Structure 1
Amino acid sequence: MSLQEFFLLLMSILTSVGGQFFLKMGALKLGRVNAANTVSHILSIATTPELITGLACYGFGALAYILLLTRVNLSIADPSVSLVSVFSVLLGSFIFKEPIPVTRLVGLSLIISGVILVVWQK
């Protein structure tokens, strides 16, 4: 993987993680959805800055991913982007104080190991 390809991959991952962060912030601002407030919550999505920012981050991440796919095989790009899950769990833990049980840590380490094996070049 060249430096440019690595940069595109990194941009795709970081913007997707940023999207996760801002969507969570916006969701916390909205509060819980129930039958009585579903319509108002749906309407509030369009006016909540954090949610709009999160969606924009996802858009930039998708653009970076598309550009990456013009240069790298899907069989390498897609598993590499699964690192978004790893960073999202860490973000949830450090920023939102969400617990990480041992089984989730094992799963995250399996994801990381899998990405290493997929991108490994002999």
Structure 2
Amino acid sequence: MKYIVFILFTVMTNAAAQLMLKQGMMSLGPISFEGSNPLLKLLQIVFSPWVFLGLSTFVISMASHLYVLSKVELSFAYPFLSLAYVAVAIFAYFIFREDLNGWRIAGIGFICVGTVLIAQSGRDLGGRDLGGRGHDEGTASLSSDKIHTSGIVR
């Protein structure tokens, strides 16, 4: 669990990027490629301030995610990205006045419960962190519910 700060940073930068992209596309209005050069239109979109900032934030998020992946199991880290949906839904409700109905709230609840369960899977019964590589190179270990191999195949 010691990499949770980096995982949450990845989640929040991912969510922030989504919000910036939405703001950028709202400022540009509906897109139409009719009567224009598609490449020039794409460049106009990419280099509009909010879209460019959003894409840049995605790059930061991806760099953080790559760091996380170098430290923890993919099956542990990746599900946390679903929390970006939770953050986007909540912030979009307040910033863009998007609908946050009962179905979305229920979905957010399920996402949060699932993420907590996955986070708990990052510990063995002794409370040791298994979210990281946590095992000696080239060894295998057995915990209460699964066999771990690390460093055997790379």
Distance in 2, Cα, partners of 1:85 & 1:15: 12
Provide the residue aligned with 1:62 in structure 2. 62
Q: Tell me the residue number matched to 2:74.
A: 74
Q: Distance in 1 between matches of 2:5 and 2:89?
A: 22
Deviations 1:50-70 (A, max 9, x none): 111000100000000010011
- Pairwise CA distance, 1:47: 2.5
CA distance in 2, matches of 1:117, 1:7: 17
Query: Is residue 91 of structure 1 aligned with residue 91 of structure 2?
Result: yes
Instruction: Give the alignment's Cα RMSD to 1 decimal.
Output: 1.5
What percentage of aligned pairs have identical amino acids? 27
Are the equivalent residues in 2 in contact too, given 1:30–1:41 (CA < 8 A)? Answer: no
Q: The residue matched to 1:93 in structure 2 has which SS?
A: helix
1:16 corresponds, among 14, 17, 32, to 14
Per-residue displacement from partner, 1:12-58 (whole Å, max 9, x unpaired)?
A: 01111110111011000110123536736423113201111000100
Secondary structure of the residue aligned to 1:36 is coil
The AA in structure 2 aligned to 1:20 is Q
Larger Rg computed on CA atoms: 2
Name the CA distance, whole Å, in 1 between partners of 2:77 and 2:48.
Answer: 32
Q: Distance in 1 between matches of 2:10 and 2:34?
A: 37
Q: Contact 1:22 / 1:53 at 8 angstroms: preserved in 2?
A: yes
Q: Measure, in 2, the Cα distance between the counterparts of 1:99 and 1:18.
A: 18
For residues 37 and 62 of structure 1, do their structure 2 counterparts lie closer, same or farther at Cα, with a shift above 3 Å needed? farther
Cα displacement string for residues 89-113 of structure 1 (whole angstroms, at most 9, x for unaligned residues):
0111010000111011111100111
More helix by share: 1
Letter in 2 for 1:80: F
Amino acid at match of 1:118: I
Gaps of 5+ in 2: 126-154
Of structures 1 and 2, the one scoring higher in RCO (CA 8 A, sep 6+) is: 1
DSSP-derived class of the 2:100 partner:
coil
Is the CA contact 2:33–2:41 (under 8 Å) kept in the aligned structure 1? no
TM-score (norm 2): 0.73
Report if the CA contact (8 A) 2:17-2:55 is conserved. yes
